[in-house]
Amino acid sequence: MGAPLMAGFIDEGGHVAVQRIAESFGMSKGQLAETVGLGRETFHKSARTNAVKTQSRVREMLEIVSRISTWAGGQNQAMAWYRAQPIAAFGGRTAEALVKSGQAAAVRDYLDHLAMGGFA
């Protein structure tokens, strides 16, 4: 579910290729960092880019966007949903806000619920 999109953003070393993601979504690395709840300067040093927390946050965002890209009509529409669509089940918070606050698992569970035919 979304694996082909996600696989295109993993480099030879198994890390998320931040520059590739930023370019694909038409944003700067600083904007990408903010989208996942990290400081704008995070992606300017490879040690911080490859840190576990950084890689986890970017993978969470990428997994969510990848999972909904077919429902949303493509990766750009999925990113727009991720960043701006309020989710009633979470009090109107967006997937972006939930990932930033460490609640990516709740978003994944919500998407699983929808995929199984549950109501939004």
Query: In this structure, is residue 106 part of a structural domain?
Result: yes
Query: In this structure, is residue 75 part of a structural domain?
Result: yes
Write down the residue that tokens 């619920």 correspond to.
113
- Stated pTM of the model: 0.86
Query: In this structure, is residue 55 part of a structural domain?
Result: yes
**Whole-number pLDDT of residue 103:** 96
Query: In this structure, is residue 120 part of a structural domain?
Result: no
The number of domains in the chain is 1
**Whole-number pLDDT of residue 120:** 65
Domain that holds residue 100: 3-115
Query: In this structure, is residue 39 part of a structural domain?
Result: yes
Query: In this structure, is residue 84 part of a structural domain?
Result: yes
Helices (H), 85-119: 95-100, 104-115
Query: In this structure, is residue 79 part of a structural domain?
Result: yes
Q: What is the mean pLDDT of residues 58-74?
A: 92
